Amino acid sequence: MQEEQETLWYLEDARELAEVAPYTFYLPSTEVVAMLKPGDAVMLMFRSDEEAADEEQAERLWVRITVVDDVDFRGELEDEPALIADLTVGDEIDFAVEHIIDTQLDDPVPNIVEQYTANCFVTKRVFDDEHPVGALYRENPDETEDELEDFSGWNIMAGDEDEDYLDNPDNWHYVSLGSVLDIDDRFIDVLDAPYDSEFEYDEEHGTFVEVEDGD
Q: How many residues does the chain have?
A: 215
Give me the tens of pLDDT residue by residue for the chain, a chain 215 residues long. 444 556 789 999 999 999 999 999 999 999 999 999 999 999 999 998 755 445 568 999 999 999 999 999 999 999 999 988 889 999 999 999 999 999 999 999 999 999 999 999 999 999 999 999 999 999 999 888 777 889 999 999 999 999 999 999 999 999 999 999 999 999 999 999 999 999 999 999 999 999 987 55
Integer-rounded Cα Rg, in Å, for the chain is 22
Residues 127 and 202 in one domain: yes
Which residue in 151, 179, 150, 127 sits closest to 23, CA to CA? 179
Q: What is the pTM of this model?
A: 0.85
The contacts of residue 107 (CB under 8 Å, 6+ apart) are 28, 29, 31, 32
Q: For residue 188, what are the domain limits?
A: 116-210
Residues 79 and 15 in one domain: yes
With respect to residue 124, please indicate whether it lies within any of the assigned structural domains.
yes
Cα distances (angstroms) measured from residue 140 to each of 88, 110, 156: 50, 27, 14
With respect to residue 82, please indicate whether it lies within any of the assigned structural domains.
yes
Cα distances (angstroms) measured from residue 133 to each of 54, 86, 156, 184, 203: 33, 44, 7, 7, 12
Give the whole-angstrom CA distance, residue 26 versus residue 3.
Answer: 31
Alpha helix positions (H), the chain: 14-20, 30-34, 112-115, 124-127, 163-167, 177-181
With respect to residue 92, please indicate whether it lies within any of the assigned structural domains.
yes
Give the domain-ending residue among 103, 138, 157.
Answer: 103
Residues 96 and 121 in one domain: no
How many domains are there within the chain? 2
Residues 204 and 149 in one domain: yes
Residues 169 and 197 in one domain: yes
With respect to residue 110, please indicate whether it lies within any of the assigned structural domains.
no
With respect to residue 72, please indicate whether it lies within any of the assigned structural domains.
yes
Give the domain-ending residue among 103, 127, 146.
Answer: 103
DSSP helix/strand/coil, 143: helix
